[in-house]
Structure 1
Amino acid sequence: MTSMAAVRCVCVLLFIIATSKAATSPHIVFIAADDLGWNDVGWHNPQMITPNLDKLAKAGVILNSSYVAPLCTPSRSSFMTGMYAYHTGLQHMVIQPESPAYLPANFTTLPQKLKDQGYSTHMIGKWHLGFCNWNYTPTFRGFDSFLGYYNGAEDYYTKKIRGGLLADGVDFRDDKQPKYTEEYSATVYARRAVDIIKSHDQSKPLFLYLPFQSVHNPIQVPKRYENMYPNIEDTQRRKYCGMVSAMDEAVGNITQALEENGLMDNLLLVFTADNGGPTFAAANNLPLRGAKSTLWEGGTKGAAFVYSKTLLQKSGYENTEMIHASDWFPTFVRLAGGQADSTIDGVDQWVTLSEGKTTQRTEFIYNIDEVSENGAIRVGDMKLIEGSPGMFNGWYPLPRVTKEEADFPPELLDMTDTSSDTYLYRLLKKHFNAVGSTEYRLFNISADPTEHFDLAEKYPDIVSQLKTTLDTYKKSLRPAFNPPSTYKANPLFYGGLWSPGWC
């Protein structure tokens, strides 16, 4: 064989391999709902109007032990890296608008790993992993395209957010370019997703990451969705439920496009909340204890499911195996034909998800936060909480707020603002439920998923064992990366935009 013929043979072989891979690697759609309560989806609460999500969940696998971090940024760092948040330095609170914090650049992100396997990678929605330098933004971290915003919350229509230093700015980008629109964000996101699906080159597998703005505060929704809940008297709760239904409709439009364009037959769709619902902002987590920002199950157990027409060998049931936010990384990479680094915290859950087999995960860390001096671990059935679980420690009924509280201004977007004259302070105070100063709390989550019975005094030996395990994990902690806010980020310096370029 001549050298030229040999080259042609190699090229043909590589083409066949690439074509075969494109034909077999599944498309992946990863949807994250922001601040969605456990009791705010139709498969947990029949009063919620979520027909599209319900249909997918019931035809797929409902995940009843799928865990996330207590807050937005920590969960997203786990999604993108396969690491516990305390290993990324993003375990404490969230990235504030003027803080030059970011997901450290040494981490290989999920879209980067999938691009290595030939995927087209697209992101639509909320980033919240840093933006002070272009290198920390989505299209520099592995995404081919990005439509969305960098910060943690903004007006659903104007796309403006006020930072802690009281500067208003628009936070909305199409790749790197500012985008100006006052259309409701869920509608904008769904339209972009449909466009991506329609124009996708089907010789390549698709990864679409869709972290919705919905249903984070501010509580805003077009009237027609609010009107779907005429029997709910509370204004904020009625609007919040409408926000959930607006997101559900967006998901319906996206899945219809997947069907019409032939992507659904070889697709895995994952839906998850990014943390528990903020009961102080119209969400509900019943029967779970606690709220967003806490280490209780209500703050860390996410409403979630997986769906596929062809990839799941077992479907139509509820899976109770332990799954953690960091597990999506190695699971997706494995499906793509790659292999995740053995040093990550995530566990490949594909056999558990697709066949219902026992998970290889026997324990996980809820969080370790050396600034707040708290943490939690689960090993088997037993959960140990060290230090304060957080501010919201009760079992909160459906929201009931006064008219004064219901009229909170849309510009009040900073969830850390607890000055005495704000709506948020009044509402936080109403939901605040202190617990005693016990250093350790122990619960059997399988027998007591609502965390009513503290077993610490009854089983001090188990407390000791779990404390030792937690202490071992602490040795690898990466110090919390929460640099102070700076005026360099002020949108006034960037034409009224929240923009990279100040760190």
Structure 2
Amino acid sequence: MSRTAVLKVLGVAAVALLALKLLFMPSPKAPYPHIIFIVADDLGWNDVSWHNPQVKTPNLEKYARAGVILNSSYVAPVCSPSRASFMTGYYAHRTGLQHIPIIHFKEMYLPSRFTLLPELLKQKGYATHLVGKWHLGFCNWRYTPRYRGFDSFLGYYGGQEGYYNHSNGKVEEGYDLRDNEEVLPDPDMEYGMYILNRGMEKVIAEHDKTQPLFLFLSYQSVHSPLEAPQRFVDLHPEVKNPNRKTFNGMISVLDEAFGNATAALQREGLLDNALIIFTSDNGGSPDVGGNNWPLRGGKFSLWEGGTRVPAFVYSKNLLSKTGYTNNEFIHAVDWFPTMLNVAGIKPTDDHLDGISQWETLKVGRPSFRKEFIYNIDEVDQNGAIRVGDFKLIKGEPGRFFDWFPVPSGDEVAPTQYPTWKRRPWTPKMFPDYQLFNISADPEERHNLADDFPEVVQQLKQKLTSYERLVVPSQHPPVEPKSLPHNFGGVWTPGWCD
């Protein structure tokens, strides 16, 4: 064989070896785990299949069963307070957002003095993206997502939009759908989850695999209004109550969106090095199809049905113990330091309310958390605290004070009103303090205050110590400058200082 032929053979062999090396070379890996934080809106305790087999959530249940189901995961009674806790590690009563959710036409926002989770993650090189609901303020641009640490934002600023018209009309109809700072027109009124799903897939597909990713999927589902594409509603022919039927369709939308997200992560090679956290932001609202059975109450209440929510964590490789239900306390404030821990960041703020739960989630060790605050609302003059087995409720617990089984037919939705809608002459429905042993009585049917006065006194003292840290609630009047007719029919920042 000539020298030239030998060189050609060697060249072909070298190319083949290089191809084999590239074929079997491990994919580029980010230095820290990808964190996918998924928050459902108003998803009740009984609205997932691992609590209620009549609900169809196969994608969610697959990952919940393969990961760690969280059986004692708590949030605030309503959305903005929970989201503020997720992003800051502080209880809502320390941010001024404890009374009511942020409302489009009021000057309300998560104050700039708080450094948010994505801002800290960026210090470790994370790419940070938000797809979906913000609901932490938008009256000034500096309170919007891209000014609070997110590289990109696709979604809506407010708290309740139509799924098709992308508008909120509580006081005045206004459009609310953004791609970063730009209004995203949708003349065809496409169902919102389809838009968010494409945005999610784009973020994942375009992500640099060597960079850690923080993706906050803040879904609109299953918040009212009751709207779902017919193909999802048709998945539930056995459900006779019309509200519950549509609501179940919305749950199916959420489940499919979750499945699309995990499929995209798998397709792009990110799932092996990812931690997925799933939670609801508060309990379900029984008047619009949500269900928390057998827990008492619902959204807007201090009862377990308003604050104890379905949640789980999943990872293919990061969790040492999986496939079980964890009963340790985890509160909304804990997700902030937990995600920072996963990213190798130690919070410098010694006054956080949150506790890192990473070791509890990773290996199943007992939680350091032995007590937590449900909420403290100085306007409604109510609050609640849990210490060990015991829960103390101060004042009127709030909306939906009963137990609501899954509606089976054409029952009329319950219409119990929130505390702040009661007139001054409305008689008190509950004693000043109620005590429940949640471990023995998770449905809160037996008030033990008269049986254990010493426990009531101990928990009152603890609750009082937390009340000393209350920041006055943001509860401003309607601001006419906010209204959409000032901005071409769109809810827009720029009208507050």
Is the CA contact (8 Å cut-off) linking 1:120 and 1:207 kept in structure 2? yes
In the alignment, which of 487, 493, 497 is matched to residue 500 of structure 1? Answer: 493
Matches of 1:98 and 1:110, distance apart in 2:
26
Q: Give the structure 2 partner of residue 482 of structure 1.
A: 475
1:186 counterpart = 2:201: no
Is the CA contact (8 Å cut-off) linking 2:239 and 2:408 kept in structure 1? no
Over residues 258-310 of structure 1, what are the superposed CA-to-partner deviations in whole Å (9 max), with x where a residue is unaligned?
00111000000000000000011111101111110000000000110000000
Q: Give the structure 2 partner of residue 10 of structure 1.
A: none
Is the CA contact (8 Å cut-off) linking 2:139 and 2:494 kept in structure 1? yes
Over residues 415-455 of structure 1, what are the superposed CA-to-partner deviations in whole Å (9 max), with x where a residue is unaligned?
xxxxxxxxxxx851599999733000011111111111111
In the alignment, which of 372, 380, 388 is matched to residue 380 of structure 1? Answer: 388
Q: Give the structure 1 partner of residue 40 of structure 2.
A: 33
In the alignment, which of 463, 470, 473 is matched to residue 466 of structure 2? Answer: 473
Matches of 2:214 and 2:108, distance apart in 1:
26
Structure 2 SS opposite 1:24:
coil
Q: Which has the larger radius of gyration?
A: 2
Matches of 1:48 and 1:84, distance apart in 2:
32
In the alignment, which of 231, 236, 239 is matched to residue 243 of structure 2? Answer: 236
**How far has the Cα of 1:393 moved from its partner?**
1.0
Matches of 2:67 and 2:100, distance apart in 1:
33
Q: Give the structure 2 partner of residue 130 of structure 1.
A: 137
Q: Give the structure 1 partner of residue 450 of structure 2.
A: 457
Matches of 2:428 and 2:228, distance apart in 1:
35
Structure 2 SS opposite 1:428:
coil
Is the CA contact (8 Å cut-off) linking 2:300 and 2:418 kept in structure 1? no
Matches of 1:374 and 1:365, distance apart in 2:
12
Matches of 1:437 and 1:320, distance apart in 2:
29
In the alignment, which of 355, 363, 372 is matched to residue 363 of structure 2? Answer: 355
Is the CA contact (8 Å cut-off) linking 2:44 and 2:310 kept in structure 1? yes
1:172 counterpart = 2:145: no
Matches of 2:416 and 2:38, distance apart in 1:
32
User: Does the C-alpha gap of structure 1 residues 351 and 435 become closer, same or farther in structure 2, counting only changes over 3 Å?
Assistant: farther
Matches of 1:261 and 1:293, distance apart in 2:
39
Over residues 140-178 of structure 1, what are the superposed CA-to-partner deviations in whole Å (9 max), with x where a residue is unaligned?
0000000011111011011011133xx111001000000
Matches of 1:55 and 1:100, distance apart in 2:
42
Residue 101 of structure 1 aligns with an amino acid whose one-letter code is M
User: Does the C-alpha gap of structure 1 residues 22 and 336 become closer, same or farther in structure 2, counting only changes over 3 Å?
Assistant: farther
Alignment map for 1:92-241 (pairs within 5 Å): 92-164=99-171, 167-181=172-186, 182-241=189-248
Structure 1 SS opposite 2:415:
helix
Is the CA contact (8 Å cut-off) linking 2:139 and 2:495 kept in structure 1? yes
Deviates more, 1:390-399 or 1:69-78: 390-399
Matches of 1:325 and 1:260, distance apart in 2:
30
Structure 2 SS opposite 1:237:
helix
Residue 113 of structure 1 aligns with an amino acid whose one-letter code is L
Alignment map for 1:270-419 (pairs within 5 Å): 270-340=277-347, 341-399=349-407
Residue 463 of structure 1 aligns with an amino acid whose one-letter code is V
Q: Give the structure 2 partner of residue 436 of structure 1.
A: 429
For normalisation by structure 1, the TM-score amounts to 0.89
Is the CA contact (8 Å cut-off) linking 1:279 and 1:399 kept in structure 2? no
Matches of 2:266 and 2:213, distance apart in 1:
14
Matches of 2:180 and 2:212, distance apart in 1:
21
Matches of 1:499 and 1:23, distance apart in 2:
37
Matches of 1:366 and 1:430, distance apart in 2:
20
**How far has the Cα of 1:401 moved from its partner?**
7.5
Matches of 1:386 and 1:104, distance apart in 2:
27
Matches of 2:337 and 2:365, distance apart in 1:
17
Structure 1 SS opposite 2:290:
coil
Is the CA contact (8 Å cut-off) linking 1:52 and 1:252 kept in structure 2? yes
Over residues 305-361 of structure 1, what are the superposed CA-to-partner deviations in whole Å (9 max), with x where a residue is unaligned?
000000110000000000000100000011111111221110000000111110001
**How far has the Cα of 1:399 moved from its partner?**
3.0
Matches of 1:428 and 1:143, distance apart in 2:
39
Is the CA contact (8 Å cut-off) linking 2:286 and 2:414 kept in structure 1? no
In the alignment, which of 83, 90, 101 is matched to residue 83 of structure 1? Answer: 90
Matches of 1:490 and 1:427, distance apart in 2:
31
Over residues 377-433 of structure 1, what are the superposed CA-to-partner deviations in whole Å (9 max), with x where a residue is unaligned?
001111100001112111101236759x6xxxxxxxxxxxxxxxxxxxx85159999
Is the CA contact (8 Å cut-off) linking 1:384 and 1:442 kept in structure 2? yes
Structure 1 gap segments, 5+ residues each: 1-20, 406-425
Structure 2 gap segments, 5+ residues each: 1-27
Structure 1 SS opposite 2:313:
strand
Matches of 2:418 and 2:126, distance apart in 1:
45
Alignment map for 1:14-53 (pairs within 5 Å): 23-53=30-60
Matches of 1:431 and 1:469, distance apart in 2:
26
Matches of 1:73 and 1:217, distance apart in 2:
15
Residue 502 of structure 1 aligns with an amino acid whose one-letter code is W
Over residues 173-222 of structure 1, what are the superposed CA-to-partner deviations in whole Å (9 max), with x where a residue is unaligned?
00000002221111211111111111101121000001100000000000
Is the CA contact (8 Å cut-off) linking 1:83 and 1:345 kept in structure 2? yes
Give % identity: 53
Is the CA contact (8 Å cut-off) linking 1:98 and 1:163 kept in structure 2? no
> For this pair of structures, how many residues does the alignment match?
460
Matches of 2:452 and 2:179, distance apart in 1:
55
Over residues 45-77 of structure 1, what are the superposed CA-to-partner deviations in whole Å (9 max), with x where a residue is unaligned?
111111100000000000000000000111011
